Amino acid sequence: MLEELTAGFPILSCILFLPVVGAAVLWLFDEEDMVRTSALTIALVELALSVFVLLRFVPESAAMQFTERVRWIPALGISYHLAVDGISVLFVGLTAFLTVLVVVYSWDTIRHQVKLYMMCLLALETTTMGVFVSLDLILFFVFWELMLIPSYFLIKLWGGGAERHYAALKFVLYTLLGSVFMLVGIALLNINYHEWASLHHTDQTYSFDLLELLTVPIPVSQQLVIFWLMFLGFAFKAPVFPFHTWLPDALLEGPIGMAVVLAGLKLGTFGFIRFSIPLLPDASKSETVVMVVVVLGLCAILYGAWMALVQVDFRRLLAYSSVSHLGFVVVGLFALNYQGLQGSLLTMINLGFSTAGLFFIAGFLYSRQQTTQLAAFGGMAKQVPLLATFFLIIGLASIGLPGTNGFVGEFLILLGAFKAKWWFGAVAVLGVIFGAAYFLWYYERSMFGPLGAAVKGTMSDLQPREKIIAVSLSVMILWIGLYPSPFLRIMNGSIQALVDRVSQETKVSLEGNGFERRY
Amino acid sequence: MSDLTDLLIKLIPVFPLLAVLVNGVLGHRYSHDMAHRLAWGSVGLSFLCTVIVFIDVMRTGASHEVIAYQWIFGGDLAINLAYLVDPLTCAWLLVVTGVGFLIHVYSVGYMHGEAGFTRFFTYMNLFMVSMLLLVMGNNYVVLFIGWEGVGLCSYLLIGYYYDKVSAAKAASKAFVVNRIGDAGFLVAIFLIFINFKTLDYTKVFAQVGQLSPDMATAIALCLLLGAIGKSAQLPLHTWLPDAMEGPTPVSALIHAATMVTAGVYMIVRNHAIFDLSPFAMSMVAFVGGGTALFAATIGLVQTDIKRVLAYSTVSQLGYMFLGCGVGAYTAAVFHVMTHAFFKALLFLAAGSVIHALSGEQDIRKMGGLSSRIPWTHRLFLIGTIAIAGLPPLAGFWSKDEIMAHAFTHQHYLLYSMAACGALMTSFYMFRLTYLTFYGSSRMDHHTAEHVHESPMIMVAPLMVLAFLSIVGGVVLGFPPEHGWLHGFLGPVVGVGSEHEASAGMVVLLMGIAIAIALMGWGLAHFLYVVSPATADGWAEKFSAAYRILLNKYYVDEFYDLMFVEPLKRLGAMLDWFDRTVIDGVVRGVGRITDWGASGSTWIEKHIVYAGLNVIGYGNHLAAREGRKMQSGMVHHYAAIIVAGLFLLVLVVQLFAPM
Amino acid sequence: MGEYALLYILFAPFAGALALIFVSNRQPLLVRSIAVSAAGVSLLASLYLFYAYDPVKGGFQFVQKVEWSRQLGISLHLGVDGIGTPLVLASAILLFAGIFVSWHIKDRTKEFYIWLLILAAATIGVFMSLDLFFLYFFYEMSVIPMYLLLGMWGSHTKKYLEMTDPEGLKRRDSVGFILNFGSNSKEYAAMKLVLFLSAFAVVALMGILLIYKYAGLNTFDILVLREQANLMNIPVLGTTLDKIIWVLVFFGFASIAPLWPLHSWSPVGHAAAPAATSMLHAGVLMKLGHFSIMRVAFEILPETTRELMPIAAVLCMFSIIYGGFVAFYAKDTKYVIGYSSSSHMGYVFLGMAALNYISLSGAVIYMFAHAMATGMLFAMAGWVYDQTHSRDIPSLGGLSNKMPFISACFVVACMASIGMPGTVNFIAEIMIIIGSWNKYPLQVIVAMLGIVLTLAYLFKMMRGLFYGPMSQKYSHAHDAISTVDRLPLLVMISISIGFGIFPMHLYDVVRSGVDPLVARITRVVPVAETGEGVEMRRSQATTPENSSAPLASHKSISYTPQVSREGRE
């Protein structure tokens, strides 16, 4: 019954535009509580829709599902093409989930310009969703760029640090710099399609549609050019070492809510797995690319961990730990085998719970001490036992303790890396050690030991709203850690198709083999 | 029966897990009594299940493989959360649940009145779950869950008194050092997967023959690294003595009886791989022998009752490794079991002493306690005799078997190391006993006033353990090499060896072992009872050596100097690098833009604009004069037009002839 | 009435101006309503024109021809093709918006509107002239009102780029003046603008007259000239005449575009001008240059264009980066926007230089898009100036609390200006990239970096104006609240975003104008298709200079993937 009702219902469009429409509706309200309640309602409805999509998603399938396609600018081959497959559908849920938590978190921590904040947040959700569900590269780019606007204002207007203007601008410029190169790459894909199509007298001479672009061959030399152009776009955003210096600034200066989204939703690496690798398989697996990218990833793992080791500000530490984790993801992606890709994808999801979770923890700490500097903490486990407990749980997930989600992803990545080249894995494994070191060292100094000098005598433990956040994150962490089956099943089909696409030598013809099977 | 067994196997880890959940989530809502009942009750249930499973396994000799659910899968990888219960697992299960149960019960008394009582039991149960997964898993990844899980619980329990800086530091240290080993273990897992395309024990061991010797060595060494980390062998032993910051039952359970033996379990479990690599085997043996000797020497001079026991644990674990290394797997397992009995006994008895002395752990401030806490004294003495290796107590049989095996397999160097270690073991254990329970009291009188025997709930488990320490060896492993345990484990680790020792040789070696133990005892007796001043004299005399030993060979300091500090300094350097160089490049780009901008503006001003202004200067003057008169402007404009037209005509005319 | 649309558009403003002469300045409302209705008629008619233009048919439509001088071969020949139509629409929109933006002008309102209407009408005239004489006539006509508008209603720009107190600066004459530009008075700006543009107009006029003379057809009619004029290969001064004509025409018109290094009149002109004038000026007046180059040089001298257009490709890089840099450094809001305009015109030149369907269409759409974006920016800079009497960025700040609507619109305008997806600028940008890459990859990369630079200086300005601490002296500043004040911004925003999301018709119209032009220049025959859009298919017979490297590589390999792969390995 429900199925019949929902057949043909443009649910992805609803998911995509609900938040921004909601944001517009928020404009009408003046009372702050009303604004908050409405924002939460919108976020919850969004989450419900996303969960519905997740439930209705056919797992173990490489097919694009819930497809919506309208030709938008036919002359240029731009279409409004939305769909999810195993690679992107989880991000939809994750985005909705995190947004709900951010709204809950911001309930009483954002005190001025609440309406504008919520509007920015919801707008950000729309753009993020857009990045995940777009199959047309221009549409994707639209959301990719639009994301900058709410992000910029979130960092700039609600950031806590003195340097927030600088951080916001740095973030925006950095990302834009990468994305203009990416735009050139996208254009080159289109030119390539056009030239191929004109020679073959097919009806449509331009296309930005991922699925159509997949059907045309691209000479390897061209692929390499496009790859590096797109690499810049994704690497700046991810950020991949050594393009990371905007991240610590943005995360430190921006509000916690923004940091959660920035650190929790790995858009840059999503770009790799969604576009770079399937579109440019020959370039992706060419010796140079793999070596350069993986070595950058390995550097990121060690470098990020090392940097995290010496940070005294928790948010900076998290920023560098993000860099380290992204190193893992990149290594996994460019191991270009099943486990590597699967692990990377899962890790991207995982970071949405663990790194984002740690940022919530940072937020909890911040709201108690008005800083995340180490000097303000010490021995707090006695004062705030629940906070300390969840801090530990989420932190352990982030360092990949078995039984938490982090382990599953990390294990797969390492295994994939090992399969690709043993020394990829061997170096990456060192990150496991450092991960434990930096996290536990910080934890020890902030939560254990005698009560810190700057710690107030009375400090409230987690409030109900904070409990909701911490518990829901922990539940997800343990769920994926102990029973990842539903998640793996969702992604497996698409991963298999991707692996086939990358590994097959002769997949670039128009008719059905390899990747095209899914359509 | 088989179905029932499978069900029971599944249930074994479930009981403690339930206890964890209930106590963890709701523990603060009800009384401590409820919490501890749940805790030891659940472990007790697990123990019961284990016994039933054990009987089944013993009866049928079959191993059970039970799949709980599919865990990680995709592509060519399929990892189940699944259990394998075979005799080897059974042996460990019995120790873990049995000794675990006793220690839980003991803890009820020991931890009475502590603030984090429920937390303690939650962690302990979590430890039980992890340890059970570790020994029950049917593949490497489940083993690894348990492996890291016990590491986590060890971390949590060492850091139980988290407001003590030393405890917090010790906890982190334990975890991080363990992680170094874990990284090695992970690498081993990957290598195994790449070679066998599976991670299930049965499938791996079925095709182990295809492994090239080099690869076998690589895998074995990586596994060994993991084992070294977990079992605190050289050179990763430093965390275990520090781990004594945890409550004593924790030391007994985790850092003596169960977790630290996980390395041994792993090696025995993977003996098929180790067997392929003589080099790796000798590495195992020498790591073990070296550690046995090394830790024993440190144990000679330590003054903290728990630290002595800790070093003795490290040393005993060395014996187990040595046993594995020389191929005496059964003997190693045998020693694990007996060691679990007597070391748990010793720790718990030590805990009882500490309990009696209101937390005092320094043996220099003890003495003469035998009359004040008689039960503890007797039980501790039994433990001491057992570990020292005097027959017929448990330690003798297992240790002797390892040493005998080493000897009969021509590992004379290892044998002599083990023998020296045994001598020292005997010495420092009796030294400990003498200093603690005999002689005159060195307590301050405030402590002395409150000395009391522990309650029954603490003593009773000790009695059970003492009983096991006394009879365990004979029951399990008599006669040597042909005991019940050998028969039981035979199918797993392989029976018999080509170097069957003659009965005479066996007796001779036993005699030597007894002699060594007695020598140690005698020496201790001489130094601490007969002539107490001699010990200090010797310490004076060999002060350099004494100080080295007292400071544990400065290994910690060495590591700090060599690894920790450089690491931190490198981190600081990288931080500088990040801020100055990488971010500098970014800011440099910004600055270049600035320069470009100001340069362009300079050009704009001084060249483009000035150049035009030179031309326009005359007009400008005119404009100033006639600023208010617009007609003047139009006039200018018209003049320009006219001039232009004139030019144009000129050009046209010029070109016209062509 | 449909076929007379051009006349309505062109003459409604003139008629309005004429009517205003007879209205007293004491009735400001009447003055304004006349101006609004004139502009409104023009806007409605140009909207009609835009949607009635049939892209499938293409060519020049709505043609009107009135003979003016048979002897000289001059006639008032009006008509629009796909290139002119959107520019006419843009002019009408900006005129309409400009009238509302200058709603609060108190000083000589009537005269102001008269000149504004004439300015716009003249601009529109250029876009629809099919006769070289009238093209030049309207072109010059658009310059005169600029002079008056600047001179009378403009504002002094104080010191040039860094704003220190101009009054402290006494050295006003001789070398001192030449180097320090102390005297950026509005009169000076007006003077400079007019002289500069006139001088270069004369250069263009020379080219036009040469065409007239050497075509020997006794006509200024572009349609006739492009078919029949044969100007090739007449040797002159060591080169050929067509090249000389082309250079004259190109640089003559490029000065208003403005192409680097002929730009220096424009920022100072923008800065001195009142808001509405700046809008028209940067929004459409500059495009007269590009448009005239296309209309005259491209149409009449296609071969020469193909040969010489790379000049523009080189200079456009300087335009983009140089303009961006100066904008980055400037501290006066209008200078920033002015230099950003001159930087962005580089993109148009890039699109024109690449000379293919996509890039040239992109260039035309970019003109349209830039008109909206820069119009918004100038309108808001004007609003801020009206409220604070300051354009000095460092002394402003924190205005977003006072004027939330303006600051929100400002964000949108910035986004449009950098080509944020969702605005029509983005469509133009991507088309320019796609079209130019094969020929000018370096320029494309430079252009992309220019976008980042644009973001940098626009955000810098945005932050300087609207965020940070606010000086107390601006506490009386207020937001645009009334409909009259909001309308122009809303119109431009909705146009910008509307065409950003639904650019299909715009695209089709532009393509219908660009295709024959490119076909003439590159000699590549477009194959028009029916159905959705006007899609072109590159003919197999590509000329050598138009065939791109990747295409060649495509040709060298077989398209059967297996084979191609073997070929590669």
Backbone angles phi, psi at A115, to 5 degrees: -60, -50
Is the per-residue pLDDT at C532 higher than 70?
no
E strands, A107-231, are none
* A219 contact B CB<8A: no
Mark yes or no for CB contact A142/C468 under 8 Å.
Answer: no
Q: Residues 468 to 487 of A: which have CB under 8 A from any B CB?
A: 483-485
* A24 contact C CB<8A: no
- Condensed to tens digits (0 to 9), the pLDDT of residues C265-314 reads 777 777 777 888 888 888 888 888 888 888 888 888 887 888 788 888 88
Residue C90 amino acid letter: A
**Subunits touching A (CB < 8 Å, at least 3 pairs)?**
B, C
Residue B627 confidence (pLDDT): 52
Please state which of the ranges A95-104, A304-313, B3-12, B436-445 shows the lowest mean pLDDT.
Answer: B436-445
pLDDT mean over B522-534: 79
**DSSP β-ladder status, C239-240 and B77-85:** unpaired
The Cα–Cα gap between C131 and A319 comes to: 64
* C320 contact A CB<8A: no
pLDDT mean over A164-171: 85
* A72 contact B CB<8A: no
Mark yes or no for CB contact C209/B652 under 8 Å.
Answer: yes
pLDDT mean over C251-259: 84
**DSSP β-ladder status, A65-73 and A78-84:** antiparallel
Closest CA to C229 of C205, C253, C213, C240: C213
Residue B71 host element (H or E): strand B64-74
Provide the 8-state DSSP code for C332: B
* B565 contact C CB<8A: no
pLDDT mean over C53-58: 82
B593, B614, B620: residue with CB nearest C456: B593
Residue A181 amino acid letter: F
Residue B638 confidence (pLDDT): 60
Minimum distance, in Å, between the CA of residue A31 and any CA atom of chain B: 38
- Condensed to tens digits (0 to 9), the pLDDT of residues B191-209 reads 888 888 888 888 888 888 8
Closest CA to A133 of A26, A229, A19: A19
Mark yes or no for CB contact B165/A402 under 8 Å.
Answer: no
B150, B131 contact by CB (below 8 A): yes
Residue C273 region, left (φ>0) first, then alpha (ψ -120 to 50), else beta?
beta
For residue C540, name the pLDDT band (cuts at 50, 70, 90). very low
* C191 contact B CB<8A: yes
Residue C523 region, left (φ>0) first, then alpha (ψ -120 to 50), else beta?
left
Coil vs helix vs strand at A215: coil
Q: With 0-12 CB in 10 A as exposed, 13-18 as middle and 19+ as buried, what is C2?
A: exposed
Please state which of the ranges A147-161, A344-358, B357-371 shows the lowest mean pLDDT.
Answer: B357-371
Q: Residues 232 to 291 of A: which have CB under 8 A from any C CB?
A: none
Minimum distance, in Å, between the CA of residue A114 and any CA atom of chain C: 14
Minimum distance, in Å, between the CA of residue C167 and any CA atom of chain B: 16
Sketch the domain layout of chain C as residue ranges: 2-160+183-563
The Cα–Cα gap between B311 and C72 comes to: 114
The Cα–Cα gap between C120 and C136 comes to: 15
Among C150, C177, C231, which would you mutate to test the B interface (most chain B Cβ atoms within 10 Å of its Cβ)?
A: C177
C34, C52 contact by CB (below 8 A): no
Mark yes or no for CB contact A449/B165 under 8 Å.
Answer: yes
Torsion of Cα atoms, C141 then C144 then C150 then C151, to 10°: -160
Q: Residues 449 to 488 of C: which have CB under 8 A from any A CB?
A: 449, 451-452, 455-456, 459-460, 463, 467-468
Please state which of the ranges A268-282, A446-460, B492-506, C155-169 shows the lowest mean pLDDT.
Answer: C155-169
Closest alpha carbon within chain A to B183: A429
- Condensed to tens digits (0 to 9), the pLDDT of residues C431-472 reads 888 888 888 888 888 888 888 888 888 888 888 888 877 777
The Cα–Cα gap between C412 and C419 comes to: 10
A480, A405 contact by CB (below 8 A): yes
Minimum distance, in Å, between the CA of residue A243 and any CA atom of chain B: 8
Residue B650 confidence (pLDDT): 66
Provide the 8-state DSSP code for A378: S
Among C140, C175, C178, which would you mutate to test the B interface (most chain B Cβ atoms within 10 Å of its Cβ)?
A: C178
C434, C448, C568: residue with CB nearest A191: C434
Coil vs helix vs strand at A283: helix
Residue B654 confidence (pLDDT): 60
Residue B653 confidence (pLDDT): 57
Residue A5 confidence (pLDDT): 52
The tokens of C193 are what? 């603008």
The tokens of A239 are what? 């950020």
ipTM of the complex in this document: 0.82
Provide the 8-state DSSP code for A136: B
pLDDT mean over B80-89: 87
Is the per-residue pLDDT at A480 higher than 50?
yes
Closest alpha carbon within chain A to B144: A402
Instruction: Enumerate residues 6+ apart whose C-beta is below 8 A from B231.
Output: B260, B261, B262, B263, B264, B317, B320, B321
* C445 contact A CB<8A: yes
Q: Residues 117 to 136 of A: which have CB under 8 A from any B CB?
A: none
For residue B655, name the pLDDT band (cuts at 50, 70, 90). low
* A323 contact B CB<8A: no
Closest alpha carbon within chain C to A175: C452
The tokens of B371 are what? 């009359």
Residue A91 confidence (pLDDT): 92
Closest CA to C84 of C187, C197, C186, C5: C5
**Subunits touching C (CB < 8 Å, at least 3 pairs)?**
A, B
Backbone angles phi, psi at C240, to 5 degrees: -110, 155
Residue B179 host element (H or E): helix B165-196
* C193 contact B CB<8A: no
Mark yes or no for CB contact A169/C468 under 8 Å.
Answer: no
pLDDT mean over B414-420: 85
* A421 contact B CB<8A: no
The Cα–Cα gap between B68 and B49 comes to: 17
Coil vs helix vs strand at B441: coil
- Condensed to tens digits (0 to 9), the pLDDT of residues B308-335 reads 888 888 888 888 888 888 888 888 888 8
The Cα–Cα gap between C303 and A202 comes to: 31
Closest alpha carbon within chain A to C427: A76
- Condensed to tens digits (0 to 9), the pLDDT of residues B628-645 reads 444 445 555 666 666 666
DSSP B206-234: HTGGGS-HHHHHHHHHHHHHHHHHHTT-T
* B602 contact C CB<8A: no
CA A336-A342-A344 angle, to 5 degrees, is 80
CA C10-C15-C20 angle, to 5 degrees, is 140
For residue A44, name the pLDDT band (cuts at 50, 70, 90). very high
Closest CA to A495 of A292, A332, A345, A283: A345
Rg (CA), chain A: 22
Would you mind telling me the total number of residues written for chain A in this entry? 519
Torsion of Cα atoms, C146 then C148 then C151 then C152, to 10°: -130
Strand partners, A313: A373
* A488 contact B CB<8A: yes
Rg (CA), chain B: 37
Instruction: Enumerate residues 6+ apart whose C-beta is below 8 A from B518.
Output: B390, B426
Residue A73 host element (H or E): strand A65-73
Would you mind telling me the total number of residues written for chain B in this entry? 658
pLDDT mean over B55-65: 82
Residue A97 confidence (pLDDT): 92
pTM metric for this prediction: 0.86
Is the per-residue pLDDT at B652 higher than 50?
yes
Among A116, A139, A173, A184, which would you mutate to test the C interface (most chain C Cβ atoms within 10 Å of its Cβ)?
A: A184
Q: Tell me how far apart the terminal alpha carbons of chain C are, to the nearest angstrom.
A: 66
Closest CA to A35 of A19, A23, A48, A44: A23
Closest CA to C368 of C84, C115, C138: C84
Residue C529 region, left (φ>0) first, then alpha (ψ -120 to 50), else beta?
beta
Mark yes or no for CB contact B623/C173 under 8 Å.
Answer: no
**Subunits touching B (CB < 8 Å, at least 3 pairs)?**
A, C
Is the per-residue pLDDT at C527 higher than 60?
no
Full 3-state SS string of B125-172: HHHHHHHHHHHHECEHHHHHHHHHHHHHHHHHHHCCCCCCHHHHHHHH
The Cα–Cα gap between C330 and A298 comes to: 43
CA C263, C265, C268, C272 dihedral sign is: negative
Tabulate helix, strand, coil % of chain A (nearest 5).
75, 5, 20
Neighbours of B213 (CB within 10 A): 12
Counting one residue from chain A and one from chain B, the pairs whose CB atoms sit within 8 A come to: 149
The tokens of C405 are what? 């609507």
Contacts of B634 in chain C (CB under 8 A): 144, 147
Neighbours of A378 (CB within 10 A): 20
Q: B17-24 contacts: CB < 8 A, separation 24 or more?
A: B17/B125, B17/B129, B18/B42, B19/B43, B19/B121, B19/B122, B19/B125, B20/B122, B20/B125, B20/B126, B20/B129, B23/B118, B23/B121, B23/B122, B23/B125, B24/B122
The Cα–Cα gap between A461 and A384 comes to: 5
Residue A131 confidence (pLDDT): 92
Contacts of C187 in chain B (CB under 8 A): 623-624, 627
Closest alpha carbon within chain C to B634: C144
DSSP A319-343: HHHHHHHHHHHHHHHHH-SHHHHHH
C423, C386 contact by CB (below 8 A): no
